[in-house]
Structure formats: structure tokens, C-alpha cells
Amino acid sequence: MVTKSVEKAINEQIRKEEHSSRIYLSMASWCQVSGFQGAAEWLYAQADEERMHELKLIHYLNGRGGNAHLADLEKPATKFKSLLDVFQQVLKHEEYISASINEVYAISIKQNDYSTGNFLQWYIMEQTEEESTVRTILDQIRLAGEEKGGLFHMDKELAAQAAKKRTSQLAAATANTGA
């Protein structure tokens, strides 16, 4: 059984993960119509990953005797200045999510809820990985600068990363269903 404060903190995290998914979906849509097909694929895959993060929290909370519920979400931004702008915002958002996960972890430990603490370890590692991936992407976009060839190459690289993301998502989904 989770305490009320752990339940509240996880529900807040569920809202943030769902919001992340929508933010990335909106960015993906902008990239798709702005000629960045690879970046769009990366962000569509990332949006699905965030939804998976959300679902994982819902199942965990309900499985521990809590009650997961969804909240209203603010409208995500629909216009961006450049590919650099998009990924700068992705990094800023991921840093915010990392801080938020750490906060949920701190609350669960304060409540002596070590099961939740254990469960959240996965999110803590995932955040470290996501931040690092996005920092590398940002470095590469900066290196490419405004040069068309560089950005074209970067977009191809993002398409390759998106294909890898899709493969691991499929593997995770297959493992979950036991197929």
C-alpha cells in the first residue's frame, strides 16, 4: 500500500509523463512539416516512450493499492525557431523531468516506501540516459550549424536513432506481453 503523499507524487509524475508525450508529439509534427523527417521520427518515437513511462507508473500505482488518475494538460507549443531550438527545449524539459523524478524518489524514501524507491531507480537511470543522448544530439546540431549539408546529415543520424528506438520499444512490448 502506498501512502497518500506517495500516491499524490506519482499521480503528478503521471501527468508530467503524459505532458512530455504531447510536447514531443507537437515537436515531431513541426519537424515533419519543416523538412526534418529524421528528427520527426525520433520525436514520434520519444513521444511513445513517454507514454510508456506514463503507463508504467499507472500500473505500478494501481498495483500498490493506490489510484492512478489523469489530469488536464496544457497545450504544447506548436511553433519552433529551428531544429536547435527544438532540441534545446527537449533538454530543458528532460532536466525538469529528472528533477521531478528525484523529488518523487525523495518523497518515497521519506515515507519509508523502499519498494517505490526501488521502482523509481529505473526512471532515474532512464533520465540520465535521455539527458546524455539529447546533449550529444545538441552538440551535433551545433557543429552542423546552419550549414544545409550538416543538418541533412544530422537528420539522417536521427532517423537511424529512431529506428533503433523503435526496435527496443518493440522488444519491450513483446517482453511485456510474453509473446
The Cβ of residue 79 has, within 10 Å, a number of other Cβ atoms equal to 7
At its nearest, how many Å lie between ligand FEO and the CB of residue 57?
9
| Residue (of 147, 148, 44) closest to 86 by Cα position | 44
- Which of 18, 41, 113, 130 binds ligand FEO (CB under 6 A)? It is 130
Q: Decide if residue 154 touches ligand FEO (CB under 6 A).
A: no
Please state, in angstroms and rounded to a whole number, the distance separating the CA atoms of residues 123 and 64.
Answer: 17
At its nearest, how many Å lie between ligand FEO and the CB of residue 97?
4
Instruction: Name which of residues 110 to 129 contact ligand FEO (CB under 6 A).
Output: none
Q: Decide if residue 53 touches ligand FEO (CB under 6 A).
A: yes
Q: Decide if residue 7 touches ligand FEO (CB under 6 A).
A: no
- Which of 7, 41, 50, 157 binds ligand FEO (CB under 6 A)? It is 50
CB 58 within 8 A of CB 73: no
- DSSP assignment of 52-120 equals HHHHHHHHHHHHTT--------PPPP---S-HHHHHHHHHHHHHHHHHHHHHHHHHHHHTT-HHHHHHH
At its nearest, how many Å lie between ligand FEO and the CB of residue 85?
18
At its nearest, how many Å lie between ligand FEO and the CB of residue 148?
30
The amino acid sitting at 81 is K
Q: Decide if residue 94 touches ligand FEO (CB under 6 A).
A: yes
Q: Decide if residue 41 touches ligand FEO (CB under 6 A).
A: no
Cβ closest to ligand FEO, residue 49 vs residue 151: 49
* Run of H or E residues at 153: helix 148-177
Cβ closest to ligand FEO, residue 41 vs residue 130: 130
Q: Which three cell numbers mark 40?
A: 520527426
- Which of 6, 14, 20, 30 binds ligand FEO (CB under 6 A)? It is 20
Q: What is the DSSP letter of 152?
A: H
CA 116 to chain centre: 20
Q: Note the residues at the interface with ligand FEO (CB under 6 A).
A: 17, 20, 50, 53, 94, 97, 130
